[in-house]
Structure 1
Amino acid sequence: MKFENNTYISGDSVYYEGVIRDVKRSKISLQPVYEAFTNSLEAIRIKESQKVDFKGKIEVKIFSTQNTDQSFTFSKLQIIDNGVGFNDKEFKRFNTYKDFTKGFKNLGSGRIQFTHYFDTTKVKSIYQDNGSFREREFFVSKNNDYLKRNSITYHKADRETIEESSRTVLTFEGLLDQTRNIYHTLNDVNLKYALLKRYIQYFCLNKENLPEIIIEHYVLLDREGKSTISKSDIPKIDKTDNVKVHYSKISDDAKNIVNTEKFETFTVNSFKLDKSFLKQNDLKLTSKHEVIENFKINLLSLAKDEVIDNSHFLFLVSSDYLDDKDTNERGELDIPNNDIFSNDPNIFQEEVIILDELENQINGSIYNLYPQIEKIQEKRHLDLKHLKEMFLLPEDMDSEIEISINDSDKKILEKFYTAEAKKKAELDSNLKDSIDRLNYLDTTSDDYSNTLDTEIYRIVRVIPQQNKAELTHYVARRKLVLELFSLILNKKLTVQEDGSRNKDEALLHNLIFQQNTTTPEKSDLWIINEDFIYFQGISEFQLSEIKFKGENIIREDLSAEEKHFITSIGEKRLDKRPDILLFPQEEKCIIIEFKNPDVSVSQHLNQINNYATLLRNFSKPEMKLTTFYGYLIGEKIEPNDVRAYDADFKNAYNFDYLFRPSKTIAGMFSNEGKDGSLYTEVVKYSTLLDRAKNRNNIFIKKLTNNKSESSD
C-alpha cells in the first residue's frame, strides 16, 4: 500500500477527536519519550531478524537553551535509531489505532501520548524497499488543522534517496505544558537513570545483545554532556521464581470469591541494587518488558526503606497475562481487586485473576527467595509488640486496623487513634440517643420500669467504654514519661553522651515541670505527688518576679532595713530562683529543689530553709505564708550523712526517704517575730520513679485485666 504525499491520514472507523479525549494524557511525564524509545527498540529487533550480524544503535539528543539564572529551557528532543524504518507495512501499523497484529502486542496508542505532550512530532525515516532505499517524512499532532480532517498524522513525502542504510529520526517539538519541569531539567544523566529504571527488565533479559545507546544534552549547538547505556550499567538478575496464580470466580451462592483450577504463571525477577542507585525497595508489574509505573501492587514482605547488605531490592513481575491485560492507555492494567466484588458481585461473569490473589502469591514468593526477610519480619513483630506495650494498645489491634509493613510507628498510632476516635463518636452517639429517649418515657405506662432499666443498662455500658479509652491514653502517656525519666536517670539519652556539660538536672527538671513556665496542670508533677498538678505555681523564676493570682507576691514597700538585708554581704537575695514553687492555697507554699544526680544532697539541706525565710518575710501580708512544705530531690543521698548535717531528719524506713517534721522559719522585720514552719523531705529520683511506676502499674493492670469486659 502506497501513501500519497501531502496527505492527512484518516483512520477507518476512528473518530480521532473522541480518541484524543478518551485516551487520557499519561501521568508519567516522560511517557512519550518511553513510547518512542520502545519503538526504536522494536525497529532494531525487526532489523536484527532480517540481517545477520546487525548492530543496533539508538541516540537520544536533548536540546535546551540557557537562561540568565543558568537554568535551562527545553527546546526539543530527538530519538534516532538504525532500525527497520517506517516502510509501508510499519507506517500502516503506526496509523492503525488498536492494531493487534504486531508481535510486540502494541495497541497503537503511543502516538496519542505524542500529541498530548508536544505540539508536533516530526519523523524522517529511511527504509529499504525492493533493494533500494526511500525516505518517508510525516508529522503527528492534535492541532485543529489535523483534527478537523479526522487525523493526527500528516504524510508529507515518500521519496527515493541516495542513502544506503535505514534510519529513523523522531523529533518532539513544542512542549504543550510548560509546567512539566522534568523536561526543562532533563539532561543526559537523569534521562539515563530514567531509562535504566524503566527498561531494567528488558535490558537484563537482552544484556548480551543490547543496541548501542547514547544520550546527549545540547545547549544551543554545544554538547553539554554525554552518557551511554552499556552492558556494564545493567545489573544482573539476582534471583528468579515462577509463581502460579489461580483464576477466581464467584462462589455458587454468590457470597464469596473462590479459586478455580485454571491458573497463570508469573515470573518474578529480583534485582539486588546498591541503595544509592535504587532509593527504596519496590515491587512492579511489567508489560512488554517495560516497568508499569501507573499500576500499584503492594510490597508486603519487605518495608520500602529496609536495607539488606547495603542494598535495596527491585522485584519485577512479568507474564503473557499482563501483556494481554495492558489497555490502550499504555501501562493501565485491567486487573480487578476484591473491592470491586464488594461493590458489584455480578461484575465477574467469567474467571479472572484477582489483584489481591496475585499480590499475596508474589509476596509469598519474595518471602521465600530471601531468608533475611524472615528475620526482618520477626524484628518488625517485636517492634510492634513493644509499641503495643508502650502505649497500652490492645493485642488484637491488628484486626481492627490495617497495618502496612511500611507504616512508621507514628502512622500506626495515627491509624489506631483515628479508629478509636470513630468508636468514641459512635459511643457518644449511642449515649445521646439513650438520653434523648428518656424524654419520651411515660412514668404512668405499664412498661415504664422495664424501659427505664433498658436505657440505664445501655448508658452504663457506654460510659465505662468511653472512660476506659480516655484512661488508657492517660496512663500510656504517663508510662512513656516514666520511661524517659528512667533513661535520663541512667544517662541513656544521646544528649547525655555527646560530651557536653552535664545536663542531667535540667533534663529532670524540665521533664517534671518545664522551666520558666507557670502551668502545673500541663506538667508531670504527679511523679512527686498526684495533687501537685492542681495547684498554682511557677518553675524557675526569680523571687522578685513570682506572681500569685496575677499579682507579684513580693512586697514593694520594703523598709530601709529590709532593703539593706536583701543586698547585704554582696548577696542579691530576691534574685534567687527556686526550682519550683506551688501555692495550694493562701498561707501555704510548696518548695521543690532538684539537684544533679552526681551532687551530694546533704550539702544543700539549708537551701529550702532559705527560700522559705525569704518568702515568709518579703511576701505580701495578704499571702500570709506561714506553712511551708519542702522537697529536696537528688540521687546521691546517704541517710547518715543527711542526719550528720541535721539530726532533725528521720528515716522513713518503709518508704526510702528522709523527712524533717518541722523546722522553724524565722519571722523578721515587719512580721513582728511571727515565725513560720517548714516540713521537709529528702528523696531520691529513683525512689520517685519507683513510686510513680507502682501507681501507674495499678492502672495498667486494671486496664489490661478488663479488656474482655470492654468488648462484651
Structure 2
Amino acid sequence: MTLDIRGSLKNTKISSNRYVVLDEMISNSIDSFLIRQHDDPAKRSLEVKLVAEIRSSGLVGDDPELSISCTDNGCGLGDDQIEAFLTKDTSYKDDLSIAGIGKCKGAGRIQFFHHFERVGIRSTYRSDGKVLMRTLPLVAARKKIDLADFAVSDGKAEGIGTTITLDGLKLAARERLYKTDALGDVFSAASMRRYMLIAFLQRLVSLKSELGDFSISFETQYPKGRVETASLSAADLPPVTEVRAADIEERDPRSGSPLGKTTRFTLSHYKLDASVFDLPRNAISFCAKSSPVQDITRRYLRTITEQNRAMDGFHHIVLIESELLDRRVNEQRDGFDGIPEEIPVGDFFADETVSYAGIFEQIDPIIDEMVSPSGWSRDQVVADVTEKFGVNAGMLAETETRVVYGDTPKSVAERVLRKYQDRIIADTAEIFDLREEIEKAEPHTEDFRQKVHELSWKYTASLKAIDMANLSQLVVRRSAIVEILALACDRQLGVQTVKAGERRQDERIIHSIFFPMKRDSKETSDHDIWLLSEEYQFYDYIASDKPLAQIEWADGEKLFDASIDVELAETLRRRADENGAMRPDIAIFGEEGSAIIIEFKAPGVSMDNHIGDLSEYAHLLAAKSNGRLKKFYGYLIGDTIAPLRMAGWTRFAAGKGYFRSTPLEDPESGRNLGELYAETLFFEDIVQRASQRIGVYREKLQIDFSKK
C-alpha cells in the first residue's frame, strides 16, 4: 500500500477554497466518529479541536508561518482506515452502510499536500482487543507514503481518535489563496467558526442525533503568546426555516427533447438572526454530501453590500442538494464536472440529461421567494418590460420566462424574444422537414393529407410566435411615436426649447415625425405616415418636401410630363410660373391615379389663411400629370383656425376640424381636372385618431407612455 504523493498532486488540482483543508479535516472527523459509533455504540458525543498556530519568521519576524492541527475522538486509523488513506480513488466509504457517512473519492487529503510542506499523523485505535497508536512524523518533501512509514506503539483507550497536523504553508498556496489577507485574520478562531457554521450547517443539523451534544472548538495561537478561542456546539445550530423541492426535467443531451422524467433538487433555507449569529455574509450554494461546494450567492444578491449585510435583521443561508450534485462534484470539491450549461449540448459523447439552465429555471423563483432584498419589485420590472419593450405578462407566461431578483427590463425582454426566436427557428426547421416528406408522399394516400394537416398546424404555430414578437414591437414603437407627436404639438419636446430671438422649428419637427424631410420612399422605408391613415404607407411613392420635377415612379418614369396639351399648358402657364417652386410638405401618389397632399402649419398659424393652398396644389399636380392624377386628398394640419372663415366647409361631428369635397376645374377653360377631398385637421385630432387605431393592441399589451 503506497500513496504516490507526486503523482496525486499532478492528477488532482489545487482547490480554490482557502478553507479546503479544514473542510477535509472536519469531514473526516465526523466520518470517523460515525464509524466508531457504528462499531462501538456508546453514549458519547463528537469532539473536534482545530488549532491554528501563527509563527513569526524572517529576519525581522514579518513573514508569518502557519501550522494547523485537528484532533477528534473518532475511530482512529485502524487497518481498514489506513489502507483507505494510502489508496487513491478509494471506495472504502462507499461500502460502509452507515447513515450520514460522507461518500468520497479519497482525493481530499491530496489538498493537504498541495497546501503544506509537511503532514503528520498521530492516531489511536482498537485492533483485536488492543489499543494501538500509529504515528507518521512530520517530514518535508515526501514523494510517497508507505505503511512502513507509520510507527506503531501501544496506546490508551481514552486517547482513541486522530490528530492530523499540517505544517509549513507552501508558497504556491500562499500566493494563490492568501495573498491579500493576513493569515492571522483568515485563520482566527472567530473566522474559522463562522466559516464552519456555514460549511457544515446542513450536515450537522441532519446528523444532530448521531453526533450527540457535539463540540467543535477553534483555537488560534499568535506570536508572543496571544490565544483566541471559539466553539461551535449542538446548541448553536439553528433550525431549518424552510425546505423546498424542485424537479428538473431531464432532456436528451443531443436533441433537447424531454425524456419524461425528472431529477429532484432540495433547497434548505436557514434564516438566521444577525444579532445572534455573527456571520460574515449571506450564502447560497450548490452542495455535495451536505457540504457547500459552489457558491452562487452573487446570482441572487448582485452587489457586495447585499451579499454581506443582513436583510431585515437576518442572514440567509440556502443550501441546494441533489444526488446529481453528489455524483458530479469534482475532486477539488470546488465545482462540478459534466453538467452542461445548456441542452442540447452539441456533443455526441455528452450523457448528462440536466443542465445548469434547467436547474436555474426551476430554483430561481424559489430562491427569489426565500431571499429578496427590499427595494426590488418584480411587478415593477414586469411593468417596465411591458412599457419599454412591449413584452407583456402573457408573453412571459407563454415562453415560461420568470422574472427574478436582479433582472432588468432589458434582460427579461432579451430572454423572451430569444425564446421566440428559438421557437421560430425550430418550427421553420420542422416545416422544411415536413415539406420534404410531403414531396416523397403519394397524393392519393391518407399519409399525404396527414402531412398536409401537420404542415398547416406548424405554420399556424410558427406564425403565432412570429406575430407575437413582431406585433408587440410594432405597437410599442407606434405608441412611442404617438406620444412624441403629442409632445411636439404641445411644444414640450426638449428640442423645442429655444432662446429668445431664435427661430422656432415646430413645423419642421412635426413634419419630420410623419416623414423625414427632403427624402422620398425610394430613399427610406422608415417613416410614420400611418399617423394620418394606415393605407397611405402602402402607396407607390411618397415625397417629402422635394421638387415636383424630381418625382418619378419606381421604374424611373417621371410622374409629371412637361409636354402636356398645348391649350392647357398655355392656360396654366401663368399659374405654373408663379408656383413653379411650390411643392407640398408631403405628397403621396398611387399608380391608380390618386394623390395625397399634406401641408403642416406651425402651432399658432391659422389654417384658414391657407385653405386655398390645397386647391392650388391639386390643380397644378392634375395639370402637370398629363391626366394621370385625377383624385386628390388634401390635408391641412395645424392647431389654429377661425371658424367664421370656413364657409362651405362641414365640421366633423367629433373633433374641431372641417372637410369638403369639390371638383377641380380649370378656371380658364372650365375643363374638369379631377376631384379634391380636403380636410383641415388639428394636431390633437391626429393624435387621437392614431391612438384609436392601435388602442386595442395598446390595451392588450398594457402600454401607456403618457405622464400621469
Q: TM-score, normalised by structure 2?
A: 0.52
Q: Residue 598 of structure 2 corresponds to which residue in structure 1?
A: 592
Task: Report whether the alignment pairs 1:662 with 2:662.
Answer: yes
Determine the C-alpha separation between the residues in 2 that align with 1:320 and 1:434.
Answer: 46
Which of 526, 531, 535 is the matching residue for 2:530?
A: 526
CA distance 1:590–1:385, shift in 2 (3 Å): closer
Shift of residue 421 of structure 1? 0.8
Shift of residue 644 of structure 1? 3.6
Q: Residue 548 of structure 1 corresponds to which residue in structure 2?
A: 552
Give matches, 1:271-670, under 5 Å.
283-285=284-286, 292-293=293-294, 315-317=316-318, 327-332=330-335, 364=366, 367=369, 372=374, 376-379=377-380, 390=390, 394=394, 398=397, 400-405=399-404, 406=407, 408-418=411-421, 420-422=423-425, 424-425=427-428, 428-429=431-432, 432=435, 436=439, 440-442=442-444, 472=468, 475-491=471-487, 496=493, 500-501=497-498, 509-519=511-521, 522-538=526-542, 540-543=544-547, 546-549=550-553, 550=556, 574=581, 578-585=584-591, 588-595=594-601, 598-600=603-605, 602=607, 605=610, 608-609=613-614, 612=617, 616=621, 628-634=632-638, 636-638=639-641, 641=642, 643-653=643-653, 657-662=657-662
Determine the C-alpha separation between the residues in 2 that align with 1:171 and 1:327.
Answer: 24
Shift of residue 409 of structure 1? 3.3
CA distances 1:652-671 after superposition (whole Å, capped 9, x unpaired): 32576322423869899xx9
Determine the C-alpha separation between the residues in 2 that align with 1:701 and 1:512.
Answer: 24
Determine the C-alpha separation between the residues in 1 that align with 2:186 and 2:509.
Answer: 49
Determine the C-alpha separation between the residues in 1 that align with 2:423 and 2:684.
Answer: 35
CA distances 1:282-328 after superposition (whole Å, capped 9, x unpaired): 833468999644x76996xx685899899897854459999988642
Give secondary structure in 2 for the equivalent of 1:605: helix
- Aligned residues, how many? 548
Determine the C-alpha separation between the residues in 2 that align with 1:59 and 1:499.
Answer: 72
Q: Residue 219 of structure 1 corresponds to which residue in structure 2?
A: none
CA distance 1:592–1:267, shift in 2 (3 Å): same
Shift of residue 403 of structure 1? 3.3
Shift of residue 480 of structure 1? 2.0
Shift of residue 331 of structure 1? 1.4
Determine the C-alpha separation between the residues in 2 that align with 1:684 and 1:60.
Answer: 88
Determine the C-alpha separation between the residues in 2 that align with 1:335 and 1:456.
Answer: 42
Q: Check the 8 A contact 1:287/1:318 in 2, yes or no.
A: no
Shift of residue 647 of structure 1? 3.0
CA distance 1:371–1:485, shift in 2 (3 Å): same
CA distance 1:96–1:268, shift in 2 (3 Å): farther
Give secondary structure in 2 for the equivalent of 1:491: helix
Unaligned runs of 5+ in 2: 28-46, 71-76, 94-100, 123-136, 150-165, 200-216, 224-229, 231-235, 250-258, 344-350, 499-503, 564-568, 703-708
Identity of aligned residues (%): 13
CA distance 1:315–1:517, shift in 2 (3 Å): farther
Determine the C-alpha separation between the residues in 2 that align with 1:60 and 1:398.
Answer: 64
Question: Which range moved further: 485-494 or 688-697?
Answer: 485-494
Q: Residue 73 of structure 2 corresponds to which residue in structure 1?
A: none
CA distance 1:491–1:414, shift in 2 (3 Å): same
Q: Residue 680 of structure 1 corresponds to which residue in structure 2?
A: 678
CA distances 1:127-178 after superposition (whole Å, capped 9, x unpaired): 99xxxxxx978469xxxxx8xxx89xxx9xxxxxxxxxx9735212999xxx
Give secondary structure in 2 for the equivalent of 1:682: strand
CA distance 1:271–1:114, shift in 2 (3 Å): farther
Determine the C-alpha separation between the residues in 2 that align with 1:538 and 1:264.
Answer: 62
Determine the C-alpha separation between the residues in 1 that align with 2:6 and 2:88.
Answer: 10
Determine the C-alpha separation between the residues in 1 that align with 2:461 and 2:321.
Answer: 54
Determine the C-alpha separation between the residues in 2 that align with 1:689 and 1:193.
Answer: 67
Q: Check the 8 A contact 2:9/2:113 in 1, yes or no.
A: no
Shift of residue 673 of structure 1? 11
Give matches, 1:146-161, under 5 Å.
none
Unaligned runs of 5+ in 1: 1-10, 43-47, 62-77, 116-120, 129-134, 141-145, 156-165, 176-181, 215-230, 232-236, 341-346, 349-353, 443-447, 705-712
Q: Which amino acid aligns with 2:377?
A: I
Give secondary structure in 2 for the equivalent of 1:485: helix
CA distances 1:182-203 after superposition (whole Å, capped 9, x unpaired): 99xx98499999999x999529
Shift of residue 682 of structure 1? 1.7
CA distances 1:251-308 after superposition (whole Å, capped 9, x unpaired): xxx9866999xx9976466989xxxx99xx9833468999644x76996xx6858998
CA distance 1:651–1:452, shift in 2 (3 Å): farther
CA distance 1:582–1:357, shift in 2 (3 Å): closer
Q: Residue 66 of structure 2 corresponds to which residue in structure 1?
A: 81
Determine the C-alpha separation between the residues in 2 that align with 1:190 and 1:631.
Answer: 79
CA distance 1:674–1:400, shift in 2 (3 Å): closer
Question: Which range moved further: 405-414 or 321-330?
Answer: 321-330
CA distance 1:674–1:661, shift in 2 (3 Å): closer
Question: Which range moved further: 510-519 or 485-494?
Answer: 485-494
